């Protein structure tokens, strides 16, 4: 509670609002600038648990944004996050398709990010072009608002979140989503980088197409068993 209140106070007193990035029923994502240092940060304020973001406080990975501070009060979460400067993968793909080498490099880097998340018990659940920022030669996976902690006792997800076309079938209440849901979305993303289309409409050719096909099997048991297995195959 104290961190939540002090974070809200600090954002009002010490930071300038640069731009509103995203607004939804759940909350807002804002780019802010620290007046004294000039450094820019992402400020997230939303209704929901801070559990995933608190797990990420101690994480340092070049393919994930650094989470600085997290506070929760009465079902609302406020947090300060590193501002990752670059273009989203969605913006880059508007300029044309990627080569197989480029797509493979980005996919492997996203595997690294997901390996860190999965090792913490976190399922991202919203891997898509707009949630990947290309910073120089690094792909950074952002936005954990749809993420959840995998809980052994649950039979299905408590909230249906994700993006149509990228969300695995189990995210629609068929069963509880685990790391294999992210593998499904990553397969769709890989196919879009190579063909511009969802694999159900046009599948990438050759070996990459076979990798996409296995990632996007409807039955999670038939996908790669974990993100490291997919990394090895790539």
Hey, which bits of 116-226 come out as E strands?
Answer: 122-123, 132-135, 138-141, 148-149
pLDDT tier for residue 37 given thresholds of 50, 70 and 90:
very high
Are both 185 and 203 inside the same structural domain? yes
Task: Give the active site residues.
Answer: 126
Are both 94 and 76 inside the same structural domain? no
Calculate mean pLDDT across residues 146-159: 61
Are both 76 and 127 inside the same structural domain? no
Q: Which of 54, 82, 110 is the last residue of a domain?
A: 82
Please indicate whether residue 123 or residue 167 has the higher confidence score (pLDDT). 123
Are both 188 and 137 inside the same structural domain? yes
Quick check: 190 and 212 in contact, CB under 8 A? yes
Domain with 33, as residue range(s), is 2-82
Are both 136 and 157 inside the same structural domain? yes
Quick check: 18 and 40 in contact, CB under 8 A? yes
Are both 76 and 103 inside the same structural domain? no
Calculate the dihedral angle through the C-alpha atoms of 140, 146, 150, 156, rounding to the nearest 10 degrees.
-140
Are both 100 and 208 inside the same structural domain? yes
Classify strands 67-73 and 76-82 as parallel, antiparallel or unpaired: antiparallel
State the pLDDT at residue 170: 78
Are both 20 and 115 inside the same structural domain? no
Are both 67 and 155 inside the same structural domain? no
pTM: 0.90
| Total number of domains constituting the chain | 2
Closest CA to 26 of 136, 128, 117, 143: 143
Query: Is pLDDT above 90 for 150?
Result: no
pLDDT tier for residue 158 given thresholds of 50, 70 and 90:
very low
pLDDT tier for residue 164 given thresholds of 50, 70 and 90:
confident
Query: Is pLDDT above 50 for 154?
Result: no
Calculate mean pLDDT across residues 122-142: 96
pLDDT tier for residue 146 given thresholds of 50, 70 and 90:
confident
Query: Is pLDDT above 70 for 147?
Result: yes
Query: Is pLDDT above 50 for 26?
Result: yes
Are both 66 and 95 inside the same structural domain? no
| Interatomic CA distance for residues 229 and 223, integer angstroms | 10
| Interatomic CA distance for residues 29 and 20, integer angstroms | 6
Are both 150 and 200 inside the same structural domain? yes
Q: What are the pLDDT digits (tens) for 66-80? A: 999 999 999 999 999
pLDDT tier for residue 156 given thresholds of 50, 70 and 90:
very low
State the pLDDT at residue 151: 63
Q: What are the pLDDT digits (tens) for 168-218? A: 887 776 566 799 999 999 999 999 999 999 999 999 999 999 999 999 999
């Amino acid at each position: 509670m104290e961190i939540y209140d002090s974070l809200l106070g600090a954002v009002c007193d010490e930071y300038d609002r640069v731009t509103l990035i995203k607004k939804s029923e759940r909350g807002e994502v804002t780019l802010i600038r620290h007046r004294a240092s000039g450094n820019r940060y992402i400020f997230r304020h939303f209704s929901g648990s801070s559990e995933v973001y608190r797990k990420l406080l101690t994480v340092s990975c070049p393919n994930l944004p650094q989470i600085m501070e997290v506070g929760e009060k009465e079902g609302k979460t406020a947090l300060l996050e590193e501002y990752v400067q670059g273009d989203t993968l969605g913006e880059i793909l508007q300029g044309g398709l990627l080569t197989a080498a480029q797509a493979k490099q980005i996919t492997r880097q996203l595997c690294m990010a997901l390996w860190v998340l999965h090792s913490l018990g976190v399922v991202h659940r919203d891997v898509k072009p707009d949630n990947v920022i290309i910073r120089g030669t690094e792909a950074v996976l952002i936005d954990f608002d749809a993420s959840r902690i995998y809980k052994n006792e649950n039979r299905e997800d408590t909230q249906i979140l994700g993006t149509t076309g990228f969300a695995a079938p189990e995210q629609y209440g068929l069963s509880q989503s685990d790391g294999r849901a992210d593998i499904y979305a990553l397969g769709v993303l890989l196919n879009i980088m190579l063909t511009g289309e969802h694999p159900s409409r046009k599948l990438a050719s050759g070996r990459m197409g076979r990798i996409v096909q296995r990632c996007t099997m409807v039955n999670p048991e038939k996908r790669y068993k974990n993100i490291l297995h997919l990394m090895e195959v790539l």
